[in-house]
Amino acid sequence: MKILISNDDGIFALGMRTLANTLAQAGHQVTVVCPDRERSATGHGLTIHQPIRVEIVDSLFHPLVTAWSCSGTPSDCVKFALSAVMDTPPDFVLSGINHGSNLGTDVLYSGTVSAAMEGTLEGITSIALSLASFTSREFQPAADFALTLINKLTEQPLKQATLLNVNIPPVKREAIAGAILTRQGLRRYIETFAKRIDPRGKSYYWLAGEVVEDLEQPEHIHLPGHIPTDVQAIQENYITITPLQYNLTDIFSFEYLYQNQWFDSMI
């Protein structure tokens, strides 16, 4: 398979390197285009007010991996790869393995998920992969699962291009409870802006956040309540697989507004 890999942790990130090398060793044709530095929480931002610079990267990866570093955002990286690096579209776009989870509403801010979504926008089945820990460096179980998932998707392709958001619990391989299909959950943070003073006496602020645990998870308009959210399932050491789409239309509110003819008297 022809596979494009990007991330938001940067070209030197261990998670992405583990993923790329694992897939290359399995015989896949791997191209890597990643930011030249940490670009986490950039969302789906694009670089349009300054040039994007790229460089070929040698010696960091398996010999069969072609790698580039890019000065832009994760979304820039995938756009550049699809338009300027690869002569034909890849079979899959993978993003990660991110160092830290991307659960629930994290996906709205995530550069990891946005890079994968860029592939989905181009009609390519894409996978965002995240290790649900900022301290664990055991990326191999996640990389092995990515290989298994790609093989499964090759044998049984999805009916349409979809983004699969995958989170892997930071536990030993034998402690993983299994892989489970989940719906997107809710994740909130207690946010603080820490005020500090720079050497010139001017104030600046540093955003910090702490996850609010045990939130009541929202119901889904179409999916039954017994299907767990990614936030719930990861706590039980399941690998979570959540299909995501880029169409954000709120069907419930649309139907309510349409049925009540909200806007007929406003024009």
Q: Is 8 annotated as a binding residue?
A: yes
Taking residues 225-251, what's their average pLDDT?
A: 93
pLDDT for residue 254 is more than 80:
yes
Q: CA 255, 259, 262, 267 torsion: positive or negative?
A: positive
pLDDT in tens, 146-201: 999 999 999 999 999 999 999 999 999 999 999 999 999 988 877 788 899 999 99
Q: How far apart are the first and last CA of the chain?
A: 54
Strands 29-35 and 66-70: parallel
Q: Is 144 annotated as a binding residue?
A: no
- Tell me which of 234 and 192 has the higher pLDDT: 234
Q: Is 40 annotated as a binding residue?
A: yes
Could you please report the per-residue DSSP string of 173-198? GGG--EEEE-B-----EEEEEEEEE-
pLDDT for residue 106 is more than 70:
yes
In a domain, 209, yes or no: no
Strands 54-57 and 203-211: unpaired
Provide the mean pLDDT of the chain.
Answer: 93
pLDDT in tens, 107-146: 999 999 999 999 999 999 999 999 999 999 999 999 999 9
- Tell me which of 14 and 188 has the higher pLDDT: 14
In a domain, 153, yes or no: yes
In a domain, 30, yes or no: yes
Taking residues 73-85, what's their average pLDDT?
A: 97
Residues β-bridged to residue 32: 5, 67
In a domain, 191, yes or no: no
In a domain, 98, yes or no: yes
41 CA to centre of own chain: 10
Could you tell me which of 47, 229, 48, 14 has the C-alpha nearest to residue 131? 14
In a domain, 6, yes or no: yes
Could you please report the per-residue DSSP string of the chain? -EEEEE-SS-TT-HHHHHHHHHHHHTT-EEEEEEESS--TT-TT----SS---EEEE-SSS-TT-EEEEESS-HHHHHHHIIIII-SS--SEEEEEEEES---GGGGGT-HHHHHHHHHHHTT--EEEEEES-SS----HHHHHHHHHHHHHHHHS--SS--EEEEEE-SS-GGG--EEEE-B-----EEEEEEEEE-TTS-EEEEEEEEE--SPPPPP-SSS-TTSPBHHHHHTTTEEEEEEE-S----HHHHHHHHHTTTTGGG-
Please, which residues have CB within 8 angstroms of residue 161's CB and are 6 or more apart in sequence?
119, 120, 122, 123, 124, 125, 126
| Domain region containing 138 | 2-184+220-254
pTM score of the predicted model: 0.92
Q: Is 237 annotated as a binding residue?
A: no
Number of structural domains the chain divides into: 1
Both tokens of 264, joined, read 């007929």
In a domain, 228, yes or no: yes
pLDDT in tens, 31-57: 999 999 999 989 999 999 999 999 999
CATH number of the structural domain spanning residue 113? 3.40.1210.10
In a domain, 263, yes or no: no
